[in-house]
Amino acid sequence: MNGAHDLGGMMGFGPLAPERDEPVFHSHWESRACAVTIAAGACGLWSLDESRSVRENLAPAQYLAKPYYDVWITALEKLAVAHGLVSAEELAVGRPLAPPRAAPKVTPRRMAEAIARGSPYDRPPSAAAAFAVGDRVRARMMNPPGHTRLPRYARGRVGEVAALRGAFVFPDTNAHAQGENPQWLYTIRFTARELWGDDADPRSTVTIDAFEPYLEPA
């Protein structure tokens, strides 16, 4: 989807101003928002790709105006309603109006173990890779209505395969409950001038990780 989150290469947002000694969380509510989102995801009712898709599908004016973890909470509310954990009416009044839906019990110990274990997304490939290191490829000119991880600034541009990473869950289908559909993942290197034109630094390059369905021979 072409959402407000896809800001790569866009102008008009001012200079980047990294915060010196930036804390992990600026406020206590941010840490709670992070914790409750991760704990809710551990119930297993939705995938990481679906949760990311819901965040990125917020209306642009809403997405750009909200602090980072406010976006997380807004998306979590949408996921909880969509999967029957709460109703829109319960969110509005701030209390349950019916017996809660049964869900896996989440404990601090279970969460700590799950976070330490991680969530591997690599999968056995179903076919041989279509491209090899050194191949020239073009990122497809695509504007899908659903979830995608191919940034707009790379679409239609020609680059070179810099690395083959293996096969992984394909977010474009997994986000919409259409199966994991594992796909080969490549690191693609573009020259800055290919992406940004003659005004770009001729010495600079940009690399992205791109799934095989995003690519075609150049």
What does the buried/exposed string (b/e) look like for 113-152 if buried means 16 or more CB atoms within 10 Å of the residue's CB?
eeeeeeeebeeeeeeebebeeebebbbbeeeeeebbbbbb
Residues paired with 200 in a beta bridge: none
Q: Is 7 helix (H, G, I), strand (E, B) or coil?
A: coil
Pairing of strands 183-191, 205-211: antiparallel
Q: With bands split at pLDDT 50, 70 and 90, how would you rate the model's confidence at 9?
A: confident
> How confident is the model at residue 112, as a pLDDT?
84
* pLDDT tens per residue, range 19-76: 999 999 999 999 999 999 998 998 889 999 999 999 999 999 999 999 999 999 999 9
> How confident is the model at residue 116, as a pLDDT?
86
Residue 99: both structure tokens together: 């017996």
Q: With bands split at pLDDT 50, 70 and 90, how would you rate the model's confidence at 213?
A: very high
Report how far apart, in Å, the C-alpha atoms of 44 and of each of 11, 126, 170 are: 38, 25, 18
CATH 1.10.10.10 is right for the domain spanning 136-217: no
- Please give the Cα distance from 6 to 56 (Å, whole number): 8
Q: Is 110 helix (H, G, I), strand (E, B) or coil?
A: helix
* CB 55, CB 5: distance < 8 Å: yes
* CB 51, CB 75: distance < 8 Å: yes
* pLDDT tens per residue, range 69-122: 999 999 999 999 999 999 999 999 999 898 877 777 778 888 888 888 888 999
- Residue ranges, CATH 2.30.30.50, the chain: 136-217
**The whole model's pTM is what?**
0.91
* Cα of 70 vs its chain's centroid, Å: 16
Consecutive H or E run containing 205? strand 205-211
Residue 216: both structure tokens together: 């075609």
The domain defined by 28-117 folds into Cyclin A; domain 1 (1.10.472)
126 or 106: which leads in pLDDT: 126
> How confident is the model at residue 209, as a pLDDT?
98
- Please give the Cα distance from 24 to 39 (Å, whole number): 18
* pLDDT tens per residue, range 131-182: 999 999 999 999 999 999 999 999 999 999 999 999 999 999 999 999 999 9
Q: With bands split at pLDDT 50, 70 and 90, how would you rate the model's confidence at 189?
A: very high
Length of the chain: 218
- Residue ranges, CATH 1.10.472.20, the chain: 28-117
